[in-house]
Structure formats: structure tokens, C-alpha cells
């Protein structure tokens, strides 16, 4: 047991060291987007464009845009940089399908949050939404799911090769993914929930793009 905790601590330390700079960059970028929306009226041309797309197409926009930002763009980056060498077609389909599904799921969750807590941007409403998002929705659903499917992908989409690694799912892999998720997404979703409902998915997609790259490297190592 002590060996497991030692490995977990080492992996968490490595995750923090590897991801702290990208995480800071993402938070600064998300802050810039939020500040632009609230304090730079000229930027509303861009925001209104994406808000109108979300309003017009609803869940379809969330599914397609998340598939692009979470799937297509990271896949192309990993492919061009030489990090994808096998099962190229299968991996392309994997990225698109997984993140399209996540887009639909996250959009539905955001809508539920609005119903449960309202659309106010006061600090208490944002805190409630962030807490439910990160300590229930992400902790119990999205992080375990993503950890498992990425583990399966990294072992050639083979259940036989994946199965021996499942013993470390709850002691090592999921805790590391959860920590990385919190490092990036707790500040990010706080800003996301401060935005109007039809701009939450567009901002989510921008942060997601780099997070998927981090998640790919984290699970592979």
C-alpha cells in the first residue's frame, strides 16, 4: 500500500510540475476572455457571433464545436507533431466521437445548473455551480470516464492489453487525472459560470483544447 501511495504522490507531483505552466496560461487566457467581455465593448461583435450560434443551434452547436476543439484540433496537433503513429484513423474517430459526446453531456449539465441555481453571476451562485461541477460531476463521472477511454486508446483499443492496467485506475490514474482537472478547471469554470449561458460552451471549448492535449500526455505517461 505504501508503494502505491509513493507512486501516486510521485505521479501527482509530476502532473503538477508538467501542467502548472499550461494551467497558468489557460487561466490567464480565460481571464482575458472574461475581462474582454465585461470591459471591452468592441469585443462584443465576436461574442455576439458565437452567442447567436449557440442560441440558434443549441445542443448541436455544443456537440459540433466540442468535437472540433476537443477532438479535431488536438488530434491534428498530435498527428503533425508525430505523437500519433499507430491506429491513425481509429484515433481520429475516437477523438471526435468522445468529445462530441462530452459536448452534449456538458451542455446538458450547464443547462441543468441554470435551472437549479439560476443564471445570476453573483459569487455564491458561481461557487455552487463550480462545486457541483468539480466535486460531483467531474469527480464521479467525467474524470473516471475519460481516464478509462484514454487508457483503452493508448493500448491500441485492445481490451486484453488494457485490462492489466485497470488495477491502478482508482489508486493512481483517476486521482492524477482528477488533480490535473482541478488544477485547470476550478478557476476556468468559475469564469465560465460568470458568463451568460449562451457563451459558456464557447469559453469551455477554448479551455478544453489545451486540456485535451494535457490529458493525452498525462495518460500516456
Per-residue pLDDT at 7: 67
Closest CA to 154 of 78, 43, 102: 78
Per-residue pLDDT at 52: 92
Percent of the chain with pLDDT over 90: 50
| 183/16: higher pLDDT | 183
pLDDT by residue (tens digit) across 79-130?
888 888 889 999 999 999 999 999 999 999 999 999 999 999 899 999 999 9
Per-residue pLDDT at 96: 96
| 69/212: higher pLDDT | 69
| 97/14: higher pLDDT | 97
Closest CA to 177 of 67, 17, 15: 15
Per-residue pLDDT at 83: 81
Per-residue pLDDT at 206: 84
Confidence of residue 142 (pLDDT cuts 50, 70, 90): very high
pLDDT by residue (tens digit) across 47-66?
899 889 999 999 999 999 99
Its pTM stands at 0.86
Which of 169-176's residues contact partners 24+ apart within 8 Å by CB, and which partners? 169/144, 171/4, 171/8, 172/4, 172/7, 172/8, 172/11, 173/147, 173/219, 174/143, 174/144, 174/147, 175/8, 175/12, 176/8, 176/11, 176/12, 176/15, 176/218
Percent of the chain with pLDDT over 70: 87
Give the number of C-alpha atoms closer than 13 A to the C-alpha of residue 59, restricted to the C-beta side: 11
Per-residue pLDDT at 172: 81
Instruction: Round the average pLDDT of the chain to a whole number and report it.
Output: 86
Amino acid at each position: 500500500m505504501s508503494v502505491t501511495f509513493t507512486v501516486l504522490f510521485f505521479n501527482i507531483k509530476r502532473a503538477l510540475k508538467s501542467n502548472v505552466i499550461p494551467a497558468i496560461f489557460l487561466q490567464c487566457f480565460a481571464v482575458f476572455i472574461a475581462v474582454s467581455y465585461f470591459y471591452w465593448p468592441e469585443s462584443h461583435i465576436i461574442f455576439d457571433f458565437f452567442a447567436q450560434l449557440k442560441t440558434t443551434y443549441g445542443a448541436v452547436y455544443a456537440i459540433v464545436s466540442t468535437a472540433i476543439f476537443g477532438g479535431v484540433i488536438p488530434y491534428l496537433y498530435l498527428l503533425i507533431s508525430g505523437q500519433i503513429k499507430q491506429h491513425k484513423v481509429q484515433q481520429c474517430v475516437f477523438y471526435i466521437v468522445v468529445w462530441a459526446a462530452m459536448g452534449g453531456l456538458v451542455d446538458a449539465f450547464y443547462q441543468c445548473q441554470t435551472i437549479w441555481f439560476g443564471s445570476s453571476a453573483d459569487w455564491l451562485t458561481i461557487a455552487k455551480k463550480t462545486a457541483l461541477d468539480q466535486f460531483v460531476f467531474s469527480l464521479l463521472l467525467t474524470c473516471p470516464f475519460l481516464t478509462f477511454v484514454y487508457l483503452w486508446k493508448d493500448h491500441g483499443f485492445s481490451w486484453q492489453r488494457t485490462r492489466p492496467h485497470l488495477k491502478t485506475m482508482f489508486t493512481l490514474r483517476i486521482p492524477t487525472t482528477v488533480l490535473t482537472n482541478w488544477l485547470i478547471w476550478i478557476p476556468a469554470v468559475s469564469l465560465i459560470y460568470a458568463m451568460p449561458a449562451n457563451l459558456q460552451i464557447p469559453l469551455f471549448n477554448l479551455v478544453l483544447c489545451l486540456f485535451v492535449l494535457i490529458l493525452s500526455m498525462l495518460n500516456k505517461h
